[in-house]
Amino acid sequence: MEDIKTIDKVTLDEQEHDEVDYDFDIPSASTLNLLETLKGLNGLSPTQILFAADALIHEKYIKENADYLQVFHYKGVEFWAISNKLKSEPLDKKEHRVIYLLPEDY
C-alpha cells in the first residue's frame, strides 16, 4: 500500500469521536501560508484542494460526530481544518468559521 504522502489526492485522517459534534457547514477561511504552500505543489489548485477537503468532511460525518480538528494530507503536506462552532449552537457569522491552516500556523 502506498504511503498517503505519495498519493496525488487529498486524504482525511481518522479522528477521535465523542458526544460533541462540531459544525463544518459554515463559512470558511484559510491562512495565506497554507494557500501559498498548496499553490507551490504543482498539483491541484488550492481551491480544488480545499473543496476536496470540505467534501471529505461532509461525506465522512453524515452519521458520525465531527471532532473540531480534522487532519488532511496532500502531496506530503499536512494541513488542518478547525471548526469553532458546535452543531447545537446558532450560527454567529461574525464569530464562527472553519479555518484551514498548516500546523505551524496554529
- Cα dihedral 18, 48, 89, 19 in deg (nearest 10): -10
Residue-level pLDDT at 15: 83
| Total-model pTM | 0.88
pLDDT at 30 over 60: yes
Does residue 16 have a pLDDT over 90? no
List Cα–Cα distances, 58 to 22, 32, 52, 85, 91, in angstroms.
12, 24, 10, 15, 18
- Span 54-85, pLDDT tens digits: 999 988 888 889 999 999 999 999 999 999 99
pLDDT in the model for residue 5: 33
Mean per-residue pLDDT of the chain: 90
